[in-house]
Structure 1
């Protein structure tokens, strides 16, 4: 008679820079919650990983750990691949492959899949300190709708420096666009990820008494949790009888998430002024932050897959409407 063996969810957390035996303070409560739920929390050295020493980064990970999740600070895609390779040499591997991580983490990886659900965008590859020339930016802008735009890299924007390094008021003004891009590149410094992205600006509004931007956590193509965006001053998320409600908007997003084919994804949604929910960002769930007031027990159940989806997934072989 066949027997089944329960598997334990193992998660790699960033260690505290001052104490290699403890999880970083930002993730410590989540790690405790994981252990309380029967999971295993292991520690890696994030600083060593970013410094190019993946072997030292995983020195405290036991041999033969098998598939593990990562939960911690963002990792550039190349370093994430190095982490996976170092784990494989120790009999482990990341549950999210380097290819899937890059696809969800960087805008060029997910943009085409979410076309129609997200602002029109274009991008130019660039390294740290490299400012695209005005002609190249003008050609990029020509492919976007006329009007304002937002500047970012493949992963992050600098929305807290909105006027100087994020918002370009008019794409028809190439000098102003170049000035914003140059300042963005300057402020990003060595952390510039992939290149420069220019996105059409869309006007978003704040639902009544709720977060202006919500984060939907998807596990294996199903929406498992909805939280406020971590930057939101309020934790409440829009729900019925709010009109237009968030729930119907998840169906087209579900189809895109399924097509993306990544096991752990976040989508950040905001309500446009015309009442349409829009995807403003996609990310890998391993490096997506959780709102400070979110239910960490519910999040750990998501991570261990011990939770039903918010909505039943589409039957196998069907095409979502």
Structure 2
């Protein structure tokens, strides 16, 4: 409600879509409270994460009501799933490999060995799907102490796939582990940069950070990340950064801003004003988020 109120104060009309109905496949019912338009209305989605295919169906149904999402389905997938953004941030983020994978299928060492071979110079790694990890089951389903140990990697990956169940998104990702500076609770201290149309409009702590956490990102680091954000082509993006133990800033996650959380104590007004301004000035975008001449 805080974000909705802030959006209204920024002069933006707000309508509710039913997230559960979207996931259930009844997208027409999900958007029934969105007023139809003559075709000139644009919108941002702000809500819980949606699988990329579900987001595409939402965009199609809204389009039928004359409402165009400013982030098209291709741009959403590019920012939301690691394979979509990794290539543009490869120099700024831990080395990663991935493979499409079906939910419910148990990976074997014959599957995992070739996948992790590019990372098998030794050292630890972390596993996840294209979007989320099982970080709360760290040793069981997330962390691999030595990627040269294919059997151990297979056990962790298989457990991650099992625990994700039908929520497994896209496939399997394995990333080289890097050690980062911790916050007061012992977790990685992360800074989340919010980008609208390629401009950094807000920097916040990660929403899981302890209350009162403050973060600062050097200008030169922000500028380097901004270059990669610009090439991604998505109009509303978040990047989560952390300071590695050797003093180097690293991008540890990229996300579509529409489904990224603000910290509970963060005033949403600056972000809502930035989104409102972009809504007014953004040119037509194709499905990849690129400007249409």
Among residues 176, 180, 186, which one is paired with 2:162 in the alignment?
A: 186
Residue 55, structure 1, aligned to residue 2, structure 2: no
Among residues 125, 136, 142, which one is paired with 1:160 in the alignment?
A: 136
CA drift of 1:232 comes to: 0.7
Structure 1 match to 2:108: 133
* RMSD of aligned alpha carbons: 1.8
Which moves more between the two structures, 79-88 or 122-131? 122-131
| Count of aligned pairs | 274
Structure 2 match to 1:280: 252
Structure 2 match to 1:213: 190
Contact 2:194/2:237 (<8 A) preserved? yes
Matched position secondary structure for 2:97: strand
Residue 291, structure 1, aligned to residue 268, structure 2: no
Give CA deviations for 1:20-40 in whole Å, capped at 9, x if unaligned. Answer: xxxxxxxx1111111122211
Among residues 21, 29, 37, which one is paired with 2:10 in the alignment?
A: 37
* Structure 2: gaps spanning 5 or more residues: 279-293
Residue 249, structure 1, aligned to residue 226, structure 2: no
Contact 1:228/1:235 (<8 A) preserved? no
What TM-score, normalized to structure 2?
Answer: 0.89
Runs of 4+ in 1 over 6 A off after TM superposition: 207-211
Cα 1:70–1:229 change in 2 (3 A) is same
CA drift of 1:303 comes to: 1.9
Distance of 2:53 and 2:129 partners within structure 1: 16
Higher relative contact order structure (alpha carbons within 8 Å, sequence separation ≥ 6) = 2
CA drift of 1:189 comes to: 1.0
Contact 1:207/1:238 (<8 A) preserved? no
Contact 1:69/1:96 (<8 A) preserved? yes
Structure 2 match to 1:103: 78
Residue 232, structure 1, aligned to residue 212, structure 2: no
Matched position secondary structure for 2:11: coil
Distance of 1:211 and 1:165 partners within structure 2: 18
What TM-score, normalized to structure 1?
Answer: 0.82
Distance of 1:86 and 1:165 partners within structure 2: 37
CA drift of 1:206 comes to: 3.0
CA drift of 1:136 comes to: 2.2
